[in-house]
Amino acid sequence: MMNAERFREVVSGQRRGLVAACQRLVFAGISVPYLWVTRLRNRRYDRQPGRIQSAGAPTISVGNLTLGGTGKTPLVEWIARWLRQHRVRVTLVSRGYKSGKDAVNDEALALEELLPDVPHVQNADRVSAARMAVEEFAAQMILLDDAFQHRRIHRDLDIVLVDATEPFGFDHIFPRGTLREALDGIGRADLIAITRADCVSHETREQITERIRQYNPSAPVIQVTHAPKCLRAANGDEQQLEKLRGARVRAFCGIGNPQGFEKTIESCGYELIELRTFPDHHGYSRDDMEELTAWAQRAPHCDAVLCTHKDLVKVGMHQLGTRPLYALAIGVGFLEGQAALEDKLQQCLEQVEVDAF
């Protein structure tokens, strides 16, 4: 079975040879019906707006054009905090992809730690989930997590994220690439955020923006950074990044874009010995933890082990053997466009009843 790392090597063209070429050919054939299904579905919603249902409260969606991680969770956290600072009762609504036995997935666990005053409802039927949030939590605003392709629910602000390090899904629909739908879908967005913008050059950001403008000439395009802000332990304790400056570390993650995590580690000034990757949203078993502990202990000059916050909330351990375990907590910054985002959010606030403030 092909893992996520090899899949990306194949569809990106990095892996050469006859086998990889044949795999790309097979993937291309499979992607054709996938493309037509997504086009047909979008056309149906475009032509039949009555199929789109209201949640009963102003709704903001943050989603992706591509599979895998685009730095969505930190931006969702930032927006939720902004709304709370403006005294709005906001509820997060998500599908709950790969939810565990407690009916919550890693994203919900991570956001629960970061936003303890913001309820989070997970349900594959996001219309029902959003309406429940309004009825049971008296939500004044709904924040949809990963819902750009979920056309059934009305949204007042549709934000789509484009990862600067892997912006357009290798220019192919899944499984030939990582696009969830054709690139012209970006035309539906009210605002486009280029994430991890500081990981590429100014010229590359300009090229990405120009291509976005081919499909959406009017929506604001902002540039977002995702910078590590501290080291976080499983018990919630936080340490400054300088604690491991110059240290030799091992790392593991189960996210959609492990290359982005690797670059983040290196940006902190840490010496990365090895990065172990698992499938996106991986649920760590007892065997996994025993293997990771032995792996961490085998490195004679390893000062610590790092993972993402989403991994840490599932692992729940503060060390692997004798090696301390930390998550790199990520914060959002803006190279440009923060005012444009806040202006869009303010327009949504104007729909909330005045006496709610």
| Percent residues over pLDDT 90 in the chain | 71
CATH class of the structural domain 229-330: alpha beta
Give pTM, 2 decimals: 0.86
Strand partners, 308: 328
Please state the domain extents for the chain. 4-47, 52-220+337-356, 229-330
Residue 163 gets the label, from left (phi > 0), alpha (psi -120 to 50) or beta, of: beta
Q: Is 52-220+337-356 a domain of CATH 3.90.600.10? A: no
CA 329/CA 335 separation, integer angstroms: 19
The predicted-structure confidence for 270-329, as pLDDT tens digits, reads as follows 999 999 999 888 889 999 999 999 999 887 789 999 999 989 999 989 999 999 999 999
Phi/psi of residue 346, nearest 5 degrees:
-65, -35
The predicted-structure confidence for 19-66, as pLDDT tens digits, reads as follows 999 999 999 999 999 999 999 999 999 999 999 999 999 999 999 999
Torsion of CA 192, 196, 199, 200, to 10 degrees: -10
Answer whether residue 357 shows pLDDT above 50.
no
pLDDT at res. 5: 76
| Percent residues over pLDDT 70 in the chain | 95
The predicted-structure confidence for 191-249, as pLDDT tens digits, reads as follows 999 999 988 999 999 999 999 999 999 999 999 998 899 999 998 899 999 999 999 99
Query: Of residues 68 and 224, which shows the higher confidence score?
Result: 224
The predicted-structure confidence for 86-118, as pLDDT tens digits, reads as follows 999 999 999 875 555 455 666 777 788 888 899
**Residue matched to tokens 């050059």:** 201
pLDDT at res. 105: 64
